Structure 1
Amino acid sequence: MNTAQLLVTGCYDKEMDGRGTGLTSYRRDPGDGSLTPLDTLALPSPSYVVRHPTQPLLYTANEAGEVGSVSVVAVAADGSLREVERLSSQGGWPCHLAVGEGGRRLAVANYRTGTALFLDLDEAGRPVGGARLWAGDAGALGPRADRQDGPHAHMVVPGPDGLWTVVDLGTDQLRSGRADADGPEAVTALPAGTGPRQLVRAADGMAYVVGELDSRLHVLREAEPGRFRWLGAVPATGEPERTAGNLPAHLTVSADGSLLLLSNRVTDTVALFRTRPDGLPRPVGEVPSGGAWPRHMELVGDHLHVCDERTDTLAVFTLDVANATLTLRHRYATGSPTCALAIG
């Protein structure tokens, strides 16, 4: 992978009620955090973007359509973007991707159909078949009939030794197993109505789950690979009068693991938490996100990039980890941003 200082954003287009058109690449100044637009690539609602660990390739989850798709995109050192392949996600509304197993496997979470797709990658990072599809557990739905009407795979997270964990908003479950198996080997049930959206593994065996439906940040310990023990949860926002309607979206962790940053839609804030060994994180601050409906965030160095989807803005903050503060530095106009990815 090239080492250029780039940032790439994905978006929603008009088919998903958005105003974006595809991917946008920027030159990123690591000093002041400023961004310079470089190139655009039209794609159907590329709502999530990941990179290959060694090849100059990106993968996008194209969420539009009854059955979504995945694009393989070449990215050059000058920020130019070129689609080299597109294939079916084999499910509706693909919303998340992950590359694992040394760059030899690509996982796709299909939100609408609640399935997880696993694709084999060759040494050059191109899909070579071997597709396997995990279905969700339709018999274990959560209590929120409006949002938990079926399995809804929101994320697939790589783990050690070829282990993967599916985060299912519809069933309040974490399902773990190996991609070449017929399905998960271990299931962790979260409190009813959690609506898990994202799982983040920490280096010390702790794990954090963003509860989209209960507006809480859940803390777990991974006792053994793929098997989690729930320890407790804290509110996702310090605005208790708005907690019930709040929809937390994305969690990111500082490089030293001491600080958690959580985006909150509805309250339109970024909440900061100080981690504690074997305990619940302590809230230490909360700031406006720089726009409305902060969805995904990308932390690179001391700059946090926040995708404010409904105000069509990308906000850049400076993060002071020691003092747990965020300072808004820049805001850029871009249609319905849903994801940001730093390269180099």
Structure 2
Amino acid sequence: MVDSANSYLLVGSYGVGIHCLRYAADGTLSPVSVVDIADPSYVVYDDARGVLTAVVEQEPDGRVASARFSVADGSSDVRDQTASGGAAPCHLASHPDGTALFVANYTSGTVGVFPLDAEGRVTGTEPAQVIQHSGSGPRADRQEGPHAHQVVVSPSGRWVLAVDLGTDSVYVYEYSAGRLAAHSVVALPGGSGPRHLAFHGSGRYFYLLNEVSCTVAVCSWDEAAGTGEAGPEVQSRAEADRGKSDRTWCAAIRVSADDRFLYVSNRIDDTIAVFSIDSDGAALEPVEVVPAGGAWPRDIVLSPDGTLLFSANQHSDLITVFRVDAGTGRLTPVGTPYSVKSPASLLPIAG
């Protein structure tokens, strides 16, 4: 169960810094501190070294900022910011061995690679490597060029997967000695517009959320070979809304810690969809679609114990909380919505 004395939630936002909140077992959220970084739309935290790093999602030149951060007293020391290697950086991931950070720059369609120092902080004034994606998709309004939207490190740490909405692709890179090398590509149907993916705990599948087509693709994955293949798709929205799927933008995708359920947020219609994960990870079955409790749920995340789900509702400046039924995966609103200006990402951490 949630330990309310040591359970915290980092909230990346637009314009107002990184908020650290405490959450209780009943879903109550309360303020702790704010780290002064502008437009930190996505955040990672190195618990062992007490360092948080965020992308500064700005154009034309995005940045990456790191800071030592103490949950206990809220103190932080934001270091000089580093160029992200492109425009509008929207996602980042750190390597499990603590040696490198990877950043997805949306507008420019690039991936930046950054070495980390012994303290776990970004070094230098620019990336050590920048990879430029190329190509486009059939949706001229959304896919006129490459748009790197997420970077994910594979279960073994050998591969880095870069999801590109503009080119309907997931690019697989091999990571070695601080650099990435192109290895393989997982291709999606034209007009899918992939945004984010989440791995199944077995490492044999990942689930890819397609923002433009409003689908979730079950993708097979071979960790040894570093190759994947897109498979069956399910709609991310309720049956009654499928005819309007061109008017919704999916956002976040999360797998429960026990690998039994999958959660997806849908913007514009402001819902969260729940799926059961069947056939040892190879299939998804719809469970329910519920209101997110706010407008434009840009991110959702589960508490580490799986009892709570949080939703960052960007356009209504609210974080809402749901109780998760351990047996069915269904969601029930709990607590009082918490007000944060333009919340964009959520990250539970321990105190």
TM over 0.5, shorter chain: yes
Aligned to 1:43: 37
Task: Name 1:327's counterpart in structure 2.
Answer: 332
Matched AA of 1:68: G
Does the C-alpha gap of structure 1 residues 284 and 72 become closer, same or farther in structure 2, counting only changes over 3 Å?
same
Root mean square deviation, CA, Å:
1.7
Kindly report which structure 2 residues correspond to 1:298-313, keeping only aligned pairs within 5 A, or say none. Answer: 298-300=301-303, 301=305, 302-313=307-318
State the partner residue of 1:69.
63
The alpha-carbon deviation at position 203 of structure 1 amounts to 2.0
Q: In the alignment, which of 6, 9, 15 is matched to residue 7 of structure 1?
A: 9
Cα contact 1:269–1:288 (8 A) shared by 2:
yes
> What residue number does 1:16 align with?
none
Aligned partner of 1:333: which letter? S
C-alpha distance in 2 between matches for 1:61 and 1:33:
28
Between 35-44 and 100-109, the greater mean CA deviation after superposition: 35-44
Q: Summarize the Cα distance change of 1:232–1:23 in structure 2 as closer, same or farther, 3 Å threshold.
A: same
CA distance in 2, matches of 1:10, 1:157: 18
Residue identity (%): 33
Map 1:275-314 to 2 at 5 A: 275-277=277-279, 279-300=282-303, 301=305, 302-314=307-319
**Secondary structure class of the residue paired with 1:144:** coil
For normalisation by structure 1, the TM-score amounts to 0.92
Relative distance call for 1:321 and 1:243 in structure 2 (3 A) is: farther
- Structure 1: gaps of 5 or more residues: 14-20
Residue 223 of structure 1 corresponds to: 222
Q: Where in structure 2 are the equivalents of 1:73-112 lying within 5 Å? A: 73-78=67-72, 80-85=74-79, 86-112=81-107
Query: Measured at CA, do residues 266 and 76 of structure 1 come closer, stay the same or move farther in structure 2, by a change above 3 Å?
Result: same
Which secondary structure does the structure 1 equivalent of 2:245 belong to? helix
Matched, 1:260 2:258: no
Query: For 1:61 and 1:317, how far apart are their aligned partners in 2?
Result: 27
Q: What displacement does 1:181 show?
A: 4.8
Distance 1:207 1:200 in 2: 5
Please say if 1:339 is aligned against 2:336: no
CA contact (8 A) 1:104 1:121 kept: yes
CA displacement at 1:141 relative to structure 2? 1.5
> Are the structure 2 counterparts of residues 181 and 246 from structure 1 closer, same or farther at C-alpha, using a change threshold of 3 Å?
same
Deviation at 1:216, TM superposition (A): 0.4
Shift in Å, 1:81: 4.4
> Equivalents in 2 of 1:262, 1:325: separation in Å?
13
The separation in 1 between residues aligned to 2:243 and 2:172, in whole angstroms, is 35
Could you tell me which residue of structure 2 aligns to residue 171 of structure 1? 167
The answer for the alignment partner of 2:145 in structure 1 is 150
Query: How far 1:260 moved relative to its partner?
Result: 0.3
Aligned twin of 1:240: 242
- Seen in structure 2, the aligned counterparts of structure 1 residues 272 and 182 have a Cα distance that, compared at 3 Å, is closer
Tell me, in whole angstroms, the C-alpha distance in 1 between the residues paired with 2:84 and 2:277.
36
Aligned to 2:252: 250
Moved runs in structure 1, 4+ residues, more than 6 A? none
Deviation readout 1:181-204 (Å, 9 max, x if unpaired): 564111111111111101211122
In the aligned structure 1, how far is the partner of 2:292 from the partner of 2:96? 34
SS at match of 2:338: strand
Deviation at 1:114, TM superposition (A): 0.5
Preserved CA contact (<8 Å) 2:92 2:151: yes
| SS of aligned partner of 1:66 | coil
Distance 1:40 1:233, change over 3 A: same
Structure 2 unaligned regions, length at least 5: none
Local SS of the residue matching 2:315: helix
Q: Cα deviation per residue 1:295-326 (whole Å; 9 max; x = unaligned)?
A: 11121121111000000000011111312211
Is the contact made by 2:199 and 2:255 (CA closer than 8 Å) also made in structure 1? no
**Counterparts of 2:73 and 2:301, CA distance in 1:** 18
Per the alignment, in what secondary structure is the counterpart of residue 278 of structure 2? coil
Aligned to 2:209: 210
Give the partner amino acid of 1:250.
A
What is the aligned partner in structure 1 of residue 197 from structure 2?
199
